[in-house]
Amino acid sequence: MATTDPGIRFEGVVKRFGDNVVLRELDFAVAPGERVTLIGPSGSGKTTILRLLMTLEKVDGGVIWVNGRSLSHMRRGERLVPADEKHLRRIRSDIGMVFQQFNLFPNMPVLRNITEAPVHVLGLSRDEANERARGLLDLVGLADKVDAHPSRLSGGQQQRVAIARALAMQPKILLLDEVTSALDPELVAGVLDVLRDIANETDITMLCVTHEMGFARDVSNRVLMFDQGQIVEEGTPEKIFSEPENQRTKDFLQAVLDQH
């Protein structure tokens, strides 16, 4: 496959939970190195998109492509058949995700939290993994916390460790799911600053779900407004935040800005 393949492509993707259709024939693509933010009301399908990419949920229709390979299916001869676990693991290795809840291992110090997957999944030596982890802790401003246990860290620090842990796998794609929503307001800025630095200093593809409109404006190349499982408007941050055309977008932004 040529490298011109979009990093992520959804083709006619349908996702249902019971009778509730969360995504309806969804089509969109994210180019390699592009930073795209998904905004919209709760329940509009944004987090479901990230969960599908992490294979925490399965599609009910359509195909998801990651770096030119189908996520949900694999080739067997001429046919596309449902992917097996090995195929999923191989594609998922290109994707890192940072969740709302930090999901750190409470019984391991910070350094081990970050090195565990690179050693066991990527096969790095403990020394290589430690060196990479220390560099990332430096990047997220926690170089002095290598031996601390998560319970001794603030929520903002735990979230920065979670970001370092995702980056330790050197993913091509980073998914961010409301990474500041569980944090106290005074801790939000530090985490967003770290993500801004990553956006500015790496060519990682970022797909981000957030209610932080200032952050979306700063880091995104493109913003997609979701409502009821469909994209109702998309454009540059300037266009979406300064001159939205769709009434749903206008109403949503008004509501979000009123809360702040």
Mean pLDDT within 56-80: 89
2 pLDDT higher than 90: no
Q: What is the DSSP string of 122-174?
A: S---HHHHHHHHHHHHHHTT-GGGTT--GGGS-HHHHHHHHHHHHHHT--SEE
pLDDT number for residue 243 = 95
Task: Report the percent of the chain where pLDDT is more than 70.
Answer: 97
Whole-number pLDDT of residue 257: 79
Q: How does residue 3 score in pLDDT terms, banded at 50, 70 and 90?
A: very low
Tell me the per-residue pLDDT of 179-198, one tens digit each, with 9 for 90 and over: 888 888 888 888 889 998 88
Taking residues 148-168, report their average pLDDT: 94
Which amino acid is located at 44 in the chain?
Answer: S
pTM above 0.75, yes or no: yes
Q: Could you read off the pLDDT of 98-154 as tens digits, one per residue?
A: 988 888 999 999 999 999 999 998 999 999 999 999 999 999 999 999 999 999 999
Return the structure tokens found at 116. 């565990």
Backbone angles phi, psi at 88, to 5 degrees: -60, -45
